[in-house]
Amino acid sequence: MNSLDKLDYLTKVDSDHLNPTYRLEDPSKMNELAREIKREGWAQVMLVTGIDWREKLEVVYHFNKLNSQEILWIRVYLDRENPEIPSVTPIFPSANWHERETSDLMGIKFLGHPDPRPLLLPPGWKGDPPLRKDYKPSPEDYPWWKASERYYNPYNYTKIIKKLGPDEFLLSVGPMHPVLHGMWRLVFEVRGDTIVEAWPDIGWLHRGIEWLAERRRYDQIGIFADRLCYGSAMSWNLLYHYVVEKLLKVEVPNKAKVLRIVAFEMQRIISHLLFVAALAANVGTFHSMFLYPIREREKFLDLMEIMTGNRLLYTYGRIGGVAKDPPEYFYRKLKETLQDLDKHLPEYMDLTLSNESFLLRTEKVGILRGQAALDVGATGPVLRAAGIEYDVRKVDPYWGIDEFDFDVVVERDGDVLARYVVRLKEILESSRIIQQALEKIPDTPIRAKVPTFIMKAPAGEAFGRVEDPRGEAAFYIVSDGKGTPYRFRVKSPTFSNVATLHHMLRGARYADMSAIIESIDICFGEVDK
């Protein structure tokens, strides 16, 4: 920290949160600063956020660090008419997609970015950047009837990238394809059966969750948080309430905290079981292994139904607590189900890990490991499978999860098999956490005294992160003292992981494409937001 304090172009800003925050006065010094930050040992750019303050723009960078609770905030003011700042992507490759997204939605130019194509907006977008405060939507913004040819044709898409070799051809996979789990596209440059380059193309499912949230009351946004990911709605919903409670300075009762941990870890089990099933189905249409985990998942969905009343999108969190107190028989059933799960998981391991044909398809496939994985922005199980121990539950504990006894699962190979094993073992760790939580459910109210309708929030900022089943998820909420967030920013783990696909797929066989794509556990709602 000291060496950043010494820099003369950087001023320390006081903030109500405990993280080190600095303001950079001269944007052109950003490159120099990034090098200094890298030397300080900050690992990844977590998030790049543009904020439109009407008379000027601001960019906020969040950096994270392994084994440290702290997050580094760097804030830069930019001129609104000509917003330009040197890109940090050459130094922190993990900033790549975050900067492209900010460039799309806020109209900020990142000078020296290696790949400055639009990410979420279609090429041919004529309107203003959509998240600026003075943006007025109009049909002329995107005359798709003129631009479609340019966008849909993979040849035109990759002309922007590079020229093809004589024995190469392009294959557009998606936006509708059985393996992709959502609306997006991969453009492959293929030589024979080998993938030379892969270009993920997202933005087909962009629903403008951030834009919508900036026009809703704080108590209404939880429902949007659910819709970020159908695979783990609970984690997003609870994360939102975690962050908004930081903003409103609400203390959550102990029982609600424990219930949240139980619900959160149940969600992790549900999400990982779906992953285990889907991987088997995608690696060679293996439907036996698809259906067994789905059977276990079904039991947990039943439990979720008892707990929250819903099976997919739960909306269980409330500001200051949770929605419902589960009935007594819920705990009994949960215990039985967990025992069942502990019995069945070794069977799945037998069925796959001792199956030669499974190892043939997953071992040494889609390798991304060690420092390389950290640099390109991998997070969650993908990062832990790469041999790097990083779990927000240990690093930055929430709701007292550090009081529970559990291990961070780490594998070293960084291939599809390692990612599979990490998730399988994490199911067992989650099961351990829930079993401990069931032993000590405190007898307090489940909700703090908070008004149902939040008409006003104090001006300020809140940033909170949790370990989502897919990785490090965070919300960044800026309030100007009114009833709606001034800026609402989502840090999606899958967004970061999809960006790493470009590196994982390079040089792989085309037939391994399905296994590699599946191995990062895609949920497209949260990528496009």
Task: Verify binding: residue 509, another protein, rule CB under 8 A.
Answer: yes
Task: Verify binding: residue 285, another protein, rule CB under 8 A.
Answer: yes
Q: C-beta of 361: minimal distance to another protein in Å?
A: 6
Task: Verify binding: residue 364, another protein, rule CB under 8 A.
Answer: no
Backbone angles phi, psi at 67, to 5 degrees: 60, 30
Q: Which stretch binds another protein (CB under 8 A): 11-19, 208-216, 286-294, 331-339?
A: 286-294
Task: Verify binding: residue 287, another protein, rule CB under 8 A.
Answer: yes
Task: Verify binding: residue 295, another protein, rule CB under 8 A.
Answer: yes
Q: Identify the residue whose tokens are 């832990």.
A: 384
Decide whether 280 or 474 has the Cβ nearer to another protein.
280
Q: C-beta of 304: minimal distance to another protein in Å?
A: 22
Backbone angles phi, psi at 306, to 5 degrees: -65, -40
**Separation between Cα atoms, residue 77 and residue 59, nearest integer Å:** 6
Q: C-beta of 528: minimal distance to another protein in Å?
A: 22
Decide whether 195 or 401 has the Cβ nearer to another protein.
195
Decide whether 92 or 358 has the Cβ nearer to another protein.
358
Residue 395 structure tokens? 């690093």
Task: Verify binding: residue 284, another protein, rule CB under 8 A.
Answer: yes
Q: C-beta of 290: minimal distance to another protein in Å?
A: 8
Q: C-beta of 416: minimal distance to another protein in Å?
A: 12
* Inter-residue contact 127 to 135 (CB < 8 Å): yes
Decide whether 267 or 282 has the Cβ nearer to another protein.
282
Q: Which stretch binds another protein (CB under 8 A): 206-214, 231-239, 278-286, 520-528?
A: 278-286
The contacts found for 95-101 with CB under 8 angstroms, 24 or more apart, are 95/45, 95/48, 95/61, 95/377, 96/376, 96/377, 96/499, 97/377, 97/495, 97/496, 97/498, 97/499, 98/45, 98/47, 98/48, 99/48, 101/48
Task: Verify binding: residue 179, another protein, rule CB under 8 A.
Answer: yes
For residue 236, give the amino acid letter. W
Count of residues interacting with another protein (CB under 8 A):
28
Show contacts with another protein in window 193-212 (CB under 8 A): 193
Q: Binding string to another protein for residues 338 to 357, with x set by CB under 8 A, is what?
A: -----------------x-x
User: Which residue(s) pair with 189 in the sheet?
Assistant: 170, 197
Of 280, 427, 437, 527, which one interacts with another protein (CB under 8 A)? 280
Task: Verify binding: residue 286, another protein, rule CB under 8 A.
Answer: yes
**Separation between Cα atoms, residue 328 and residue 339, nearest integer Å:** 18
List the one residue out of 218, 211, 49, 59 whose CA is nearest residue 135: 211
Residue 135 structure tokens? 């943006």
For residue 50, give the amino acid letter. G
Of 270, 427, 437, 513, which one interacts with another protein (CB under 8 A)? 513
Residue 149 structure tokens? 């040819």
Q: Which stretch binds another protein (CB under 8 A): 65-73, 172-180, 263-271, 418-426?
A: 172-180
Task: Verify binding: residue 292, another protein, rule CB under 8 A.
Answer: yes
Decide whether 159 or 295 has the Cβ nearer to another protein.
295
* Inter-residue contact 175 to 204 (CB < 8 Å): yes
Q: C-beta of 182: minimal distance to another protein in Å?
A: 15
**Separation between Cα atoms, residue 374 and residue 93, nearest integer Å:** 9
Q: How far is CA 40 from CA 3, 25, 37, 133, 374, in A?
A: 8, 20, 5, 35, 15
Q: C-beta of 42: minimal distance to another protein in Å?
A: 38
Task: Verify binding: residue 282, another protein, rule CB under 8 A.
Answer: yes
* Inter-residue contact 45 to 62 (CB < 8 Å): yes
Of 184, 300, 316, 358, which one interacts with another protein (CB under 8 A)? 358
Decide whether 500 or 514 has the Cβ nearer to another protein.
514
Give me the torsion for CA of 500, 504, 509, 515, rounded to 10°: -70
Of 134, 166, 178, 443, which one interacts with another protein (CB under 8 A)? 178
* Inter-residue contact 363 to 354 (CB < 8 Å): no
Residues that bind another protein (CB under 8 A): 171, 177-179, 193, 280-288, 291-292, 295, 355, 357-358, 360-361, 509-514
